[in-house]
Structure formats: structure tokens, C-alpha cells
Structure 1
Amino acid sequence: MGALTDIQIKQWIKSAAEVAKADGGGLTFTLSKAGRAAWVLRYRFGGKRREKTLGQYPDISLAEARKLALEDRARVQQGVDVAAEKQKARREASTAWTVRQLAEDYLQKSIGRLEESTLKGHRQRLRDYVYPVLGNIPADEVRPIDLIKIIERASKKSLHVAKLVLGIQKAIFAHGMGRHIIDADPAFQLRSNAVLGPRPVARTRVMLSEAELKIIMPLLPKMGIQNALMAKILLCTAVRIGELVGAKWENVDLEQRVWFIPPTDIKGKKGRARNGEDVRGFSIPLSEPVVGWFHDLKDLAFGSAYVLPIRSRKKAIGDTHMEPVTLNAAFNNFWKTHLSEGTQRFTPHDLRSTARSHLSRLGVDLLIAERCLNHSLGGLVDIYDQHDYLQERRVALNILADFVVNCNGA
């Protein structure tokens, strides 16, 4: 090699004439009628003439083309058909699964196995964190550091979100290994402690005192009618926010004063106990004030199947319920605007711990108070005591509602 010069190449390109000039050692500069300049390596393999396009000029300079040609000629001498190798790599690249395709295949095959709410969360985290960075990247080219960067970005939102993002990444790449789509799992060795550090000290649940409730309750209407009604129902039923926002009117019997929460709406998977929860479905007796608050919510629902529908976007998304984050945001703004002095900062879930604490303070038996929260005491009690304590819980929640009303929350 060494017959060509950069000056000659530039002159040929300027003249726009079709040429094919050898540099030596099989390296050839070609210029098509369309003006496409490229480097080609010509060689013999198995007695047949072969050629491989090394790349275009000037993207690949004369010096770089000579280096590539030398490397490929050495491999040819070692018995490698470099042109066939390139064609194979191109075919594999055209059929390679992207991260998005792998993730969508995992989600599709998880329908019926995972709860719809879980799948919805997976889709959201993939959309917000994974797809923007890796969506179009071949799944077998992803490295652990690529996943770590995504997890670290998610941690700026919260450590909880970061762990959920790590979880879906581990799930989709394990799925890829199971389907033999990828040869190595880049998420296999990732550990949340190594990426995110030790788990932070758990936040202590807030128990709002009677004095604090007497400050808070009269101000609740400043949150808006619907949010205020939700807050009072949460406090007087001790349910989780997700159980309330997902409630349907078909499960709320205002005449019999009973609200049934189906298994799919209770934290944990259907048919599987988690954190001491009873996932067989749970009936909540409704006190008189709570029945009245539900009637008020029904007037605001405008015929929706949900107790707490999203009305503003009904035409766009159909009839569905509001998201828990909506009430979380309302509580946060309410506290900062009206309660920054005189009360502890609290969340919707803190109303559940507040209700549990006041049930004990009001003299409700431990077992009944735990059943009001759909908790199980476990052990032999859980095995042999199948009584639902509905009437006992009705008495307890009536006492709790009277206490809340006396805090000026009527």
C-alpha cells in the first residue's frame, strides 16, 4: 500500500468522474457516478474473489483505511472471510431485539400473572426512565453502567422510585435471558445497596393529637369539597388512600352502611397474604357521618362508576378514578398554606395511623382495633379465629367518628 495520496483523491472527487484506484494490498478507492466515495478491500478466499466495504471517504481517511485493510488482511490469512463476517453482523443487527421490544414482550406475557396496577406502574417507569435512554438500543449491547445511570437519575425523584426502576430492569433482562434473546444479563449483579447506598431510616408515622385535629378539621374545606370529604372518610374508616380512590359505587351499600373492598383493591396480591393483610376482601361498617360524606361524594360523581372519578379528562381517558398522588399533593399544599404552624406535617396515610392511635386511646380492644385496619394478629389467632368482628368494628368506628365530629369536623 502507498500508491494513493490525499491530493489525488480530492482531485478525483472534484472531477466527479467514476473511478476505482488501487492503493495496494487489495485496498481500493472507489467513486461512483452518484459521487459516493468509499474504501473497498479486495481479496481472495477459498479460491474466490471477495470484497468488503470498509467505509466512506472522508469519514474514513486514507491512513485509517490502510490500517483497517491491514487488520482485515491479517484476519483473512487466519482463515476468516471478513466480508461474510460483516454480512452476518448486519443480519444479526437487523433482527436484534431493542430494549423497548424486550420490555413490551415481558409486559405482554405478564398479563394475567401480574396485577393490572403493577403493570401500569411498570409501563410508567419504563416510559419515564428507561425508554428515553435505552429504548432503541439493542438489548444485548446494554451494559450494567447504563442501567446504573438510569437508577441514579430515578433516585433524584425518590429512593423508592429508584428501587422500582431497578426492579423492572432486572425483570425485563431476566426475561431476555429466559428467552435466549440476550447472552448476558446486565442487571444480574446490580444491588440497590451498592447503587443507592443503605436504606434510609424509615419515616415515623404521624399520630395527630386531639388538639391538632381541632385545628385541622375546621380548615379542611379550604382543600376543596371533594378533598375535604376524602380526608374525613380516611380518618373515620382507617383505610388506605389507594383503597378509597379506587372504590366503586357498586361496592358501597349506603342503606346497609357497609363498604366492601374487593381483594384486587387491597394492598398485596390476590390470594396472597402480605404484611399481615387479609386479602380475601374486606367489609367496612360505615358510621352515620361517613354515610353522609359518601352521599355528598355521590352528588359530586355525576353518575360515574367510581366514588372519586377524574371528571376533567373524562372525554379523553374515559371513566376512571383519580390517582392517590392528587390527594398527596393537595395535603402538602394544604399544610404549607394553612397549617405550617401548630400541627405536624402529615400525609393521607398518616390519617390511618392517627385513626389507629385514637382507637386505642378511646378504649377499643386491641384485636378489634387491628381488625378495623384489616390487620391480622397472625399465628393461631389467624388460623382458628375466622370471625370478622363486623358488629364490634361498627361500634368501634362509631366511637371514632363521634370523636372526629367533636373535633369540629362535621
Structure 2
Amino acid sequence: MTLTDTTIRNAKPGPKARKLGDGGGLYLLVQPGGSKLWRLKYVFADKEKKPTLCRYPEVSLKEARRRRDEARTALALGRNPADDKKRAQLEAGQAIANTFAKVAEEFLEKSSLEGRAAVTIKKSQWLISLLLPKIGNRPIAEITPAELLAAIKVVHDRGHYETARRMRSLSGRVFRLAIMSSRASNDPSSYLQGALVTPRIKHHAAIIEPEKVGGLLRAIDGFEGQPLTRLALQLTPHVFVRPGELRRAEWSEFDFAKARWTIPAPKMKMRQAHIVPLSKQAIEILKSAEVLSAGQQYVFSSMYPGTRPMSENTINAALRRLGYSGDEMTAHGFRAMASSLLNESGLWSSDAIELALAHDNSSSVRGNYHRGQHMDERTRMAQWWSDYLDELRSQMPGVD
């Protein structure tokens, strides 16, 4: 007697488990609790086997019969159907481990273990999330250049050329990790050179004219917003570090006795610890900040709840409040200001200026040598720079 869907639906549980046969060794086991399991009875190597195929109704009668027929074919070829099932499960697990999404997840974990900055990892997560809808579930070894390009073009064709460029670059690092772990043999991103529109380089807006710098400094002194924000604005031109380095500055990093601020490697773009010599003016501003945030982790903490650094938009928002548009001045623009005016002064070596800006050195050995060699010069330059800023601030427009 073969089963029907109606018979199966109407089968009621009893005090004991009971079998409803369908033929060819397939039967439905109705449990006392009401669950219904498909099972297959067969003999392999002179031993009776009764593996569970799956539950009903998750697996229909038609599908259960198909699996029974596959098992009978395997038996005819001398294979144990249970072994085939285990092999299929293993292959399915390997397939999941070899998808682009899985390898990308491993790439992010590796980046975290290597000490990459949290903001860098967050940006990588975002870029990867843009790729996942198209290629996330695809086996990474099977992704073609055309598939990768189609995933990137979703963003590229909206005019976000820089984001698309970063997606291609980051995907290449994921593919190379797959190659190193023998899960792929090819990096399709390498074939996309020239396939995307090259974005125009957009420099951070900066004020570099001495008279306008003086006006900006006076405007900052008159800032009427949050006191910590004003102090962050005042300190930025003196130390000209990257905005993220300033807002995440911690009190434990400062040594006022030595007039030094040591930024740990994980916070630096180039992953190298960076020493910032502090001028008298910079220390005075920090001492004022200490009155407001002493006992907290961050020098410039957020107002609510005060346990996180200030927002990455705080300085730029303050500049807009002072009347400076994004085309005139940005938080990053203080670095361009310092670079331009320090170089124009002719008083300091280009190496000292580049080291003060924490720009990369092509050779780590040369970089270590220069960091030590130019510290005295950088210390003198830091004080000269702060004195020069004070001079610019004190000069009223049109007065020599």
C-alpha cells in the first residue's frame, strides 16, 4: 500500500509510535507526540539501516520518494546512502565556508586581530555590505570579473565613483585571502583596472593665507558653543593631527612634564606610534580641558553620556556654525594649513614637517631613524608654530 498526502495529514498519533509504509523501504513514523518522520529501511553490508530522511511536512511525500530513489540508486552502485548524506552535508558546509560573505567575514576578523582602527573596520564592513546582495552567497572561487563588476556597478552607476573604487580595492584583499587559504585561485578584481570611472581627487578645503588664518583663530576664540568643542577647535591648529586622532585622544597618552602626546599605533593611519611635541600654548589649552573632563577616558568626550569620544562631525559642525562653509575650511584643513605655512617659512626641514604630519616613510628603517633625528627640531618647530599662530591672531585686518 502506498501513501497519499491525505492519509499522511489525517494520521493521528497513538500511545506508541506506528509506521505507515510507502514501499521500497520508505515509511512514515508517527510519534506519540505527533511528530512525523520519514525513514528508509535498507540493508547494507549485511546490516539493517533505518536512517531518518527528514520531517514531514518539511519534506513532502514527493520529495521523500525522490530521496528514497536516490538511496536505492546508491545501493545499486555499492554505496551506503547514509555516507552519501554525510558527504553532502560536509560539502554544503564547505560551500558556506567558501562563499564571498564568509571569506569577507574572516578578512574583517583578521583586520581586527591585526589592530586595525575600529573606524577602518567599520568602513570595510560597510563597503563589503554593498557587495553582499550580488555576490555574498556565491562560492568565492566561482565569482567572475563580470559578476564582481555588476556588483560594483550598482554603486558606480549612481555616480559614487570613489566608493566604487574602494569596493574594488577591498574586494581584491578578500579574494587574495581566499587565494592564500586555497579557496580560490584567481582575483577577479585585478581584471577591473580601467573599468570604473576614476574619481576626481578632492582636496580638503583649507585656509592657508596668513591674514585669513588670523581671522579664523579669532573666530574660534569667540565660539559660543560647548566649552569642550571650543577647546578642541583651539587645540587643533596647534597640533594639526588628523581629526580622528584628536577626538579620540585619551588623558593617559599625555605627559605634561615632557610636553609630549604619544598617540598609540592602533589609532594612527600608518599603524605607527606618533609623538606630538606640545607647545606651551597647547598645554595651556589641555589644562583648561582637564578642568572639564578630568577623570574621564577621553580629553574631548561626547556630552551624552560622556563615555565616548566626541562625534567625528563636531569640529566641522562648529566651523559651519562660525560661518565657514565646507568649501572654505574643514577639520582636516588644519593639517594643510600647517603644512603650507611651515614649508613657506623656510625655517624647517621638509623631513621634520612630514614627520610632524605623520606621513608615511617608504622605508621603516629610514622612518625610525628620522623620527629620532628630528625630534629636537620638531619640538622647536611646535613652539615656533604656536607663537606664529598667536602672532597671526593678534594682527587685525589691514594692520602690518
TM-score by length of 1: 0.66
Moved more, 32-41 or 162-171: 162-171
Question: Does structure 2 retain, via aligned residues, the 8 Å contact 1:222–1:334?
Answer: no
Q: Tell me the amino acid that sits aligned with residue 333 of structure 1.
A: A
Question: Does structure 2 retain, via aligned residues, the 8 Å contact 1:16–1:35?
Answer: no
1:290 match: 282
1:344 match: 327
2:270 match: 268
Q: Tell me the amino acid that sits aligned with residue 330 of structure 2.
A: T
C-alpha distance in 2, partners of 1:185/1:206? 43
Per the TM alignment, residue 169 of structure 1 is displaced from its structure 2 partner at its CA by: 5.2
Per the TM alignment, residue 296 of structure 1 is displaced from its structure 2 partner at its CA by: 1.4
C-alpha distance in 2, partners of 1:298/1:152? 49
Q: How does 1:7-406 map to 2 (within 5 A)?
A: 7-13=6-12, 19-86=18-85, 107=109, 114-115=114-115, 118=117, 122=121, 159=163, 166=171, 177=181, 184=183, 189=188, 197=196, 200-208=199-207, 209-210=209-210, 212-213=212-213, 216-220=216-220, 221-249=223-251, 252=254, 254=256, 258-262=259-263, 264=265, 266-270=268-272, 281-286=274-279, 288-304=280-296, 306-309=298-301, 312-313=304-305, 322=309, 326=311, 328-339=312-323, 344-362=327-345, 364-365=347-348, 367=350, 369-370=353-354, 372-374=356-358, 386-388=373-375, 389=377, 390-406=379-395
Deviations 1:326-381 (A, max 9, x none): 1x31234335545266x725331111112222334455445364454355898999
C-alpha distance in 2, partners of 1:30/1:223? 74
Per the TM alignment, residue 73 of structure 1 is displaced from its structure 2 partner at its CA by: 0.8
Per the TM alignment, residue 190 of structure 1 is displaced from its structure 2 partner at its CA by: 5.3
Question: Does structure 1 retain, via aligned residues, the 8 Å contact 2:41–2:50?
Answer: yes
Per the TM alignment, residue 74 of structure 1 is displaced from its structure 2 partner at its CA by: 0.9
Question: Does structure 1 retain, via aligned residues, the 8 Å contact 2:348–2:381?
Answer: no
Per the TM alignment, residue 49 of structure 1 is displaced from its structure 2 partner at its CA by: 2.0
Per the TM alignment, residue 268 of structure 1 is displaced from its structure 2 partner at its CA by: 1.9
Question: Does structure 2 retain, via aligned residues, the 8 Å contact 1:31–1:38?
Answer: yes
C-alpha distance in 1, partners of 2:204/2:127? 30
Seen in structure 2, the aligned counterparts of structure 1 residues 150 and 31 have a Cα distance that, compared at 3 Å, is farther
Question: Does structure 1 retain, via aligned residues, the 8 Å contact 2:251–2:298?
Answer: yes
Task: Name stretches of at least 5 consecutive residues in structure 1 with no aligned partner.
Answer: 178-182, 271-278
Seen in structure 2, the aligned counterparts of structure 1 residues 148 and 76 have a Cα distance that, compared at 3 Å, is farther
C-alpha distance in 1, partners of 2:196/2:174? 18
Q: Secondary structure at the match of 1:347?
A: coil
Per the TM alignment, residue 244 of structure 1 is displaced from its structure 2 partner at its CA by: 3.0
Deviations 1:165-211 (A, max 9, x none): 75885687678x3xxxxx725996556958x9455333213231456
Deviations 1:36-70 (A, max 9, x none): 22332222212222233232333333333222221
Deviations 1:96-115 (A, max 9, x none): 9988999689959975xx33
Deviations 1:221-262 (A, max 9, x none): 144222222222221232223443444556645566x33435
Q: Secondary structure at the match of 2:53?
A: strand
Seen in structure 2, the aligned counterparts of structure 1 residues 7 and 312 have a Cα distance that, compared at 3 Å, is closer
Report the aligned-residue RMSD: 5.3
Seen in structure 2, the aligned counterparts of structure 1 residues 404 and 16 have a Cα distance that, compared at 3 Å, is farther
1:4 match: 3
C-alpha distance in 1, partners of 2:241/2:359? 11
C-alpha distance in 2, partners of 1:40/1:227? 70
Question: Does structure 2 retain, via aligned residues, the 8 Å contact 1:233–1:290?
Answer: yes
Seen in structure 2, the aligned counterparts of structure 1 residues 27 and 139 have a Cα distance that, compared at 3 Å, is same
C-alpha distance in 1, partners of 2:53/2:360? 70
Question: Does structure 1 retain, via aligned residues, the 8 Å contact 2:13–2:31?
Answer: no
Deviations 1:281-304 (A, max 9, x none): 535241x44333222112222244
Question: Does structure 2 retain, via aligned residues, the 8 Å contact 1:297–1:307?
Answer: yes
Seen in structure 2, the aligned counterparts of structure 1 residues 251 and 60 have a Cα distance that, compared at 3 Å, is closer
Q: What is the percent sequence identity of the aligned residues?
A: 18
Task: Name stretches of at least 5 consecutive residues in structure 2 with no aligned partner.
Answer: none
